[in-house]
Chain A
Amino acid sequence: MSRRLRISAILAFAMALLLAACGGDEPSGSGGQQAQTGPRTLTIWLMEGSAPPQVIEAVNADFKTAHPNDTVKVQLQQWSNVTTKLDAAFAGSSPPDIMELGNTLVSKYGAAGALQDLSASKAQFENNATWLQSLTESCTVDGKLVCAPYLAGSRAVIYRKSMFAKAGITQTPTSLAELQTAADKLMQTFASDKRFSAFYFPGKYWYAALPFIWDHGGDIAKQEGDQWRGTLDSPEAQQGLTELKKLVDCCSKADKSGDEAKQDQAFAQGHIAMIVANGWEKGVILDPKTGNPKLENDLAAFPLPSRNAGQTAPVFLGGSDLGIATKSKNQDLALDWVKLLAGQKFQTQMATVGGVIPNSTTLLTLHQDDPYLSVFDSTAKNSRFTPTSPNWANVEAANILPDMLVSIFTERASIADATKQASEQITTTLNTGS
């Protein structure tokens, strides 16, 4: 019937137009659906700022010699909203073969089945016997190894030597009491500067609050059988927070409701004596555009002291791991690449060129001649991690710890009430779904 024909013609034409618009005038070749034989492409997601570009290029060069027919595509991702992107990618049919994951995120994705079980291949990794304890812990889900430790970062106190000298402090504090004394002295010496902070501590900086809690014997949560229980309201944890609050009240002009993202730029302004920081933050402080390069020789570091003289407080070990996607079609290829980056040669480069803490304790000696970096390495040896529950990422996403700290420092709630509420929230969140 010619009428129907004409209608179908119109519709077909419209469809054709649409499909033509959607037709691939795009050069295809984004990774994923490749045949198992023949040249393959490995897609790797690394987080921006983690690794120096030259190290990655070197890894790819080595990989190329071993696998001349295969291509490697490294894509740098930004940290903000990364979990949304990871969720979508893992849900799709062709996620990247290798992912760099923040160590606190691994549990969540591992428990959901996104990461390949590497337990059987563990022995193939160089230095696997001396992997950093906390990183390995972060890679272990249900007793299985789901990723390889990649790099770590720990925190210590960065301070201005000249300010210490001016305040007459000759030795870096070796106990919490000494830290408090030093801070008081600094505040006195620089009393004329209204903006001065002896110990700059932004309210939401929970990574730096954990050492105080851990040092006094408290913890975020405890696992009792199958269930988790938030323990921030324990007397020990509260004690630690009380000590921290003393320091914040007397000696910090930082934003009690802000986070630590801008603390390096603030430090470079010259009104701060001490901050709790990662090793790489020195680079930000000295940045020629947003920092003050003149401070180069005035910066040094010491570990956050414990309340017990002579010991250091346990610090939170941040870091990243490398995981292989379960849906990856190039498992063996991916494994080879990860073994390279997590292996002796490139971990050494990461440490020396990148200044990060490598994944193996044997390599911690690399920084021993660097008075600055060795401080951070030493604190890594006394480091702890957040609860290894798959729901931990949800605790972070719900901002339970930062909000608790803010209400404590702004005195909107007493330490007892704030910790109690946070503990209850943590208990509920960690136990969802179990």
Chain B
Amino acid sequence: MRAVETRRPSTSPRRAPEAARPGARVRRLRPLVPYGLLAPSLLVLAAVLGYPLYRLVVLSFQQYGLRELFAGTEGRFIGFQNYQSILSDSFFWTVVARTVVFAAVCVGLTMSLGTLVALLLRRLGKGMRLLVTAGLVAAWATPVLTAIAVWQWMFDFEFGVVNWLLTRLGVGDFVNHNWFDRPLEGFTVIILVVVWGALPFVAITLYAGLTQVPAELEEAARVDGGGAWQVFWKVTFPMLKPIFMLLTVLSTIWDFKVFTQIWVMLNQRPGRDYYLLGIWSYSESFGVSNYGKGATIAVVMVALLMVLTSVYVRQMLRTVEA
């Protein structure tokens, strides 16, 4: 099933067979079939997700705390006050910047390292490739909670193997080094966990994509005198581009929303220096019971993501029309 070549043809070929089909009744029914197919999914989504999403947006315009929650009353409508207070809060901008940088670093590392690994996989012999793939799959299959537990243990203050190793290697005195004392170091560990878990999927997918790149094209380019780097950029990468874009956008969305890794690694009590948008939203809602503000942060987060991925989304929409 090679889908590399064609883009969807226009819909005219489809009309012809229909007109020839018997059954006027069927033809009248047809416009409603898609709705019927969509109905169950949309029902579930509307029921369980629709109302909470609506509630979330409404909450962002309200003053809503524990008392309202327990009594089941409506919050006090305060218009755009939540939004105003957030946008004028310098902490908000710090958190946004931090979230964007964090996501950018994660995505950048994942995609670049993933590409390198994919290229490596292509050049390896069968045995080695199997070994590396096995390692990647093992890392990919590890549940997030497990991964966090292990990495936390490896970087433990007193008994962590990383501290021991670094001291032994002479990198410095890492005895009793707390990696989460300084946010820069702490985020390094967290990014390690995130990338470690995300890399396999990207690498394996890109590798699969690479196998579909016809070797002849690359050969031709090399014969024409292109260096390895040029061959990659001019021939290989353009063919990989669709997968690459898709993975980048997915990674962006997922890395922007990172919550568990930070929350659990810092023992459910991250300091303010570790706040990303998702964490801040949660802590406003469940930490200090300011549900209105928490909802506002969540809404802003979604809006931000929409802006960041807008180019890709617009591209996607163009294909829907086609």
**Is residue B8 contacting chain A, with contact meaning CB distance below 8 A?**
no
Q: Flag if B286 contacts A84 (CB, 8 Å).
A: yes
Partner of A255, one of B25, B71, B157: B157
Q: Flag if B178 contacts A15 (CB, 8 Å).
A: no
**Is residue B75 contacting chain A, with contact meaning CB distance below 8 A?**
no
- Most central of B36, B180, B289 by chain A CB within 10 Å: B289
Partner of B288, one of A253, A398, A410: A398
Q: What count of chain A residues pass the 8 Å CB interface test?
A: 48
Q: Flag if B181 contacts A257 (CB, 8 Å).
A: yes
A258–B176 Cα distance when bound, in Å, is 11
**Is residue B21 contacting chain A, with contact meaning CB distance below 8 A?**
no
Q: Flag if B181 contacts A410 (CB, 8 Å).
A: yes
**Is residue A150 contacting chain B, with contact meaning CB distance below 8 A?**
no
Minimal beta-carbon separation of B19 from chain A (angstroms): 19
**Is residue B29 contacting chain A, with contact meaning CB distance below 8 A?**
yes
| In the complex, chain B residues whose CB is within 8 Å of the CB of A113 | 67, 70-71
| In the complex, chain A residues whose CB is within 8 Å of the CB of B39 | 10-11, 14-15
Q: Tell me the residues in window 148-197 of chain B with beta carbons closer than 8 Å to chain A beta carbons.
A: 157-158, 175-176, 178, 180-181
Q: Flag if B29 contacts A262 (CB, 8 Å).
A: no
Interface string of B253-297 (1 = CB under 8 A from A): 000000000000001110110000000000100111110000000
Q: Flag if A398 contacts B287 (CB, 8 Å).
A: yes
Q: A18 — nearest CB in chain B belongs to which residue?
A: B40
| In the complex, chain A residues whose CB is within 8 Å of the CB of B272 | 398-399, 403
Minimal beta-carbon separation of A29 from chain B (angstroms): 24
Q: Flag if A80 contacts B268 (CB, 8 Å).
A: yes
| In the complex, chain B residues whose CB is within 8 Å of the CB of A59 | none
**Is residue A91 contacting chain B, with contact meaning CB distance below 8 A?**
yes
- Most central of B70, B71, B72 by chain A CB within 10 Å: B70
A250–B49 Cα distance when bound, in Å, is 56
Q: Flag if B289 contacts A394 (CB, 8 Å).
A: yes
Q: Tell me the residues in window 1-39 of chain A with beta carbons closer than 8 Å to chain B beta carbons.
A: 2-3, 6-7, 10-11, 14-15, 17-18
**Is residue A68 contacting chain B, with contact meaning CB distance below 8 A?**
no
Q: Tell me the residues in window 420-434 of chain A with beta carbons closer than 8 Å to chain B beta carbons.
A: 429, 432-433
**Is residue A87 contacting chain B, with contact meaning CB distance below 8 A?**
yes
| In the complex, chain B residues whose CB is within 8 Å of the CB of A3 | 25, 28-29
The 8 closest A-B pairs by CB, nearest first: A397-B287, A112-B66, A257-B181, A394-B288, A14-B40, A10-B36, A84-B286, A255-B157
Q: Taking beta carbons and an 8 Å cutoff, which residues of A are in contact with B? A: 2-3, 6-7, 10-11, 14-15, 17-18, 80-81, 83-84, 87, 90-91, 108-109, 111-114, 194-195, 253, 255-259, 261-262, 266, 269, 326, 391, 394, 397-399, 402-403, 406, 410, 429, 432-433
